Amino acid sequence: QVQLQESGPGLVKPSETLSLTCIVSGDSITSYYWGWIRQPPGKGLEWIGYIYHSASGSTKYNPSLKSRVTMSVDTSMSQVSLKVNSVTAADTAVYYCARLGANYYFDFWGQGSLVTVSS
């Protein structure tokens, strides 16, 4: 069964770049789309984007975050990465990595990584 493990700094300063990595095990990273979702403390889920491994790095981002988000796939390391630049306190959230099923729903989720934006 697929397992997803997010990792990255728990604290990021305002205006800096948030960087997270999701290590994929138990499944082929080249067989699926992979996505990121975030959840501010006490609030609902917000889709960030998803990516496929192809040479073109096919991606689709939430329009509201598109200008600040970059995703990538490293097939040699079996990991998916997320970068969000110019962060503010509003970017404080638990960030989840997830596998996309046959269509664009999320069938397996990582445990999540809490990122706090604060000086």
Partner 1 sequence: EVVMTQSPATLSVSPGERVTLSCRASQSVITNLAWYQQKSGQTPRLLIYGASTRATGIPARFSGSGSGTEFTLTISSLQSEDFAVYYCQQYKTGVNFGQGTRLEIK
Binding site for partner 1 (CB under 8 A): 35, 37, 44-47, 50, 60, 62-63, 96, 101, 103-112
Q: Is 8 left (phi over 0), alpha (psi -120 to 50) or beta?
A: left
Q: Least distance in Å: CB of 109 to partner 1?
A: 5
Q: Of 32 and 108, which has the nearer Cβ to partner 1?
A: 108
Decide if 5 contacts 112 (C-beta within 8 A): no
Looking at the Cβ atoms of 15 and 105, the one nearer to partner 1 is: 105
The pairing of strands 113-117 and 11-12 is parallel
Closer of 7 and 16 to partner 1 (Cβ): 7
